Amino acid sequence: MEALKPLEPTPTTTAISITFAAALLLFTIGFILPTFRQWYRLRHVPGPFLNSITSLVYARRTLKDGSAQYVYDLCKKYGPLVRVTPNIVVFSDAQTFRYVCSPKANYTKGLWFEFSRWDLERWSCIAMRDNESRKERKRRLIPAWSGPGLAMMEERVDARVREFVGLVERKYVSTAPGEGVKPMEFGHRAQFFTLDVATGVTFGKPFGFMERDGDVNRYLEITEVMLPMFGILGALPQLVYAMHAWPLNKLMPGAGDKVGFGVLMKFAEDEVQKRLQPGDKNSELDLIRAYLKNGIEPEDVVQECITLVVAGSETTSVVLRMALLALLTTPEAYRKLQAEVDAYYNKANHKRDDSDVISYADAKELKYLWAVIRETMRVWPNGAGLSFSKQVPDTGDTIHGYYLPKGTEIAQCMLGVTRDKALFGPDVEIWRPERWLEATPERADEMWAAVELGFSTGKYICLGKQVALMELGKWFTEIFGDYDIAPVNNVSPLKLVDGVTWLSSNFWIRFTRRN
């Protein structure tokens, strides 16, 4: 047998070796080194090792059911600050939440928010990442949401609540047993309601989701396709750079589109233009007019309008759906809420009348109603996924004893905030409105101060908070006064997915008139 001769280096093999060595070097420089550096910066923050070297672990989770629960479990296991991706750390307490959102801490919005830029030339306040311009913009937005502005919105909300009752009367009242059962898929109807409120408040008239009892210009269909992207961006916010660059920017919705988001953009542009015409005789108050009057440039008003519709609809409909589900599955709570609503209408001066929706001021007096709404926002908080992340300022900062260098992204684990046993009691996993009434007033205030962080706080606070609470209070009072509701599928009333937010489908219910 002939011994294998060692290969003589030939020009070809030398070239291959050199190429391979070069590739290895490039790989090391291009991938391993940055990965190592990324890992090294925050190596002292606890968390699973794999999560500390790649964002893909969490990104993959966002595609599956249970991503909020996943982050919550990590927080329980690793402590008050957890590294969930190489550059994102998560806290789970109300105090840190307030600190990060306070102007004095100098944090800025994280990269995630770049995704809420609908137009790459202009910024809406929600997408601006904290500089003087953002402060100035927010200062000009705020006045539109109180005083006469809020009173105008209350009228618009009332009109939408009446429209919802109209829709039930038109198509969904189940009558005699066995016949005439007319189930409603409430998952989408909740969105129709909140979308019509948001568009009605913004443009003076709603898009007409309830009137049509269906999607308008495929807006919902397209938003539903976009939602999972919000989750992935929570893990990989750097993706926004790719999305805003050629060629992906060509796929972004634009005002020229015939359907979906682009239609909303075009509509907003047209409505703003209409109000700028010298011949515009209509002086009825709406948000567009209020914003223009406060000196916001028309192109920026368009951006704010779009934000409002997106920010105001999905969020509020989550609370509507989950509160209704919780009531339907907790007979004691259902009866108590109904009794409270009946007691309200039985008072001499509150005649039950379809044209008269309960005022926000009156609704605020219904104690059990608010216990229901607060408890729902506690158990299923909005923003439970890693959305709304913020960035550590240039000076770096120390949180829970861990130094965080500049540029580290920090996000909240909302489930950690709203399931704090020290604050809410040992049965935090259970939906039980009574806990709000059993607590001393001081304790109840403290509990709400944690739960209402779902609307964010400080310089980031939600502008539509009062509108959202108003919508919820009025809807439940009106509907519980008029109807009895039951689930259609008793075994599984709806299908819930815990993703970026609490997404549900197949929530079939039936209405019967109360006498």
Residues making up the binding site for heme: 462
Which CB atom, from 57 or from 414, has the smaller least distance to ligand HEM? 414
Angle CA 225–227–231, to nearest 5: 135
Q: Does 123 bind ligand NAG (CB under 6 A)?
A: yes
Q: Does 219 bind ligand NAG (CB under 6 A)?
A: no
**For residues 503 and 227, what is the distance between their CA atoms, to the nearest angstrom?**
10
DSSP letter at 402 equals E
The helices-and-strands tally (H runs, E runs) of the chain is 23, 12
| Neighbouring C-alpha atoms within 13 Å toward the C-beta of 272 | 21
**For residues 490 and 486, what is the distance between their CA atoms, to the nearest angstrom?**
9
Show the tokens assigned to 18. 């050199």
Applying the rule CB under 6 A, the residues between 211 and 270 that interact with ligand HEM are none
Q: Using CB under 6 A, which of the segments 209-217, 233-241, 254-262, 305-313 binds ligand HEM?
A: 305-313
Q: Using CB under 6 A, which of the segments 48-56, 162-170, 458-466, 482-490 binds ligand HEM?
A: 458-466
Q: How many CB atoms lie within 10 A of CB 484?
A: 14
Phi, psi values for residue 339, rounded to 5°: -65, -40
Residue 89, classified by CB atoms within 10 Å of its CB into exposed (0-12), middle (13-18) or buried (19+), is buried
Residue 395 touches which member of ligand NAG, ligand HEM, none, C-beta under 5-8 Å by kind: ligand NAG
Choosing from 462, 494, 503, 509, the residue that interacts with ligand HEM (CB under 6 A) is 462
For residue 389, what are the CA distances in angstroms to 97, 384, 415?
11, 11, 15
Applying the rule CB under 6 A, the residues between 395 and 414 that interact with ligand NAG are 395
Choosing from 51, 62, 87, 307, the residue that interacts with ligand HEM (CB under 6 A) is 307
Site string for ligand HEM, 371-410 (x = CB under 6 A): -----------xx----x----------------------
Residue 133 touches which member of ligand HEM, ligand NAG, none, C-beta under 5-8 Å by kind: ligand NAG
Q: How would you classify the pairing of strands 508-513 and 184-185? A: antiparallel
Residue 105 touches which member of ligand NAG, ligand HEM, none, C-beta under 5-8 Å by kind: ligand NAG
Residue 325 touches which member of ligand HEM, ligand NAG, none, C-beta under 5-8 Å by kind: none
Residue 307 touches which member of ligand NAG, ligand HEM, none, C-beta under 5-8 Å by kind: ligand HEM
Phi, psi values for residue 486, rounded to 5°: -140, 150
Site string for ligand HEM, 115-154 (x = CB under 6 A): ----------xx-----------x----------------
**For residues 111 and 405, what is the distance between their CA atoms, to the nearest angstrom?**
16
Choosing from 200, 231, 416, 454, the residue that interacts with ligand HEM (CB under 6 A) is 454
Q: Cis link prior to 247 (omega < 30° from 0)?
A: yes
Choosing from 98, 129, 218, 459, the residue that interacts with ligand NAG (CB under 6 A) is 129
Applying the rule CB under 6 A, the residues between 79 and 118 that interact with ligand NAG are 104-106
CB of 267 to ligand HEM, least distance (A): 16
Applying the rule CB under 6 A, the residues between 131 and 150 that interact with ligand NAG are 131-133
Q: Does 460 bind ligand NAG (CB under 6 A)?
A: no
Q: Considering Cα of 114, then 116, then 119, then 125, what sign does the dihedral take?
A: negative
DSSP H/E element including 409: strand 409-412
For residue 75, what are the CA distances in angstroms to 154, 183, 380, 415?
40, 41, 17, 10
Residues that bind ligand HEM (CB under 6 A): 125-126, 138, 198, 201, 307-308, 311-312, 315-316, 319, 382-383, 388, 454-456, 460, 462-464, 467-468
Residues that bind ligand NAG (CB under 6 A): 104-106, 123, 128-129, 131-133, 395
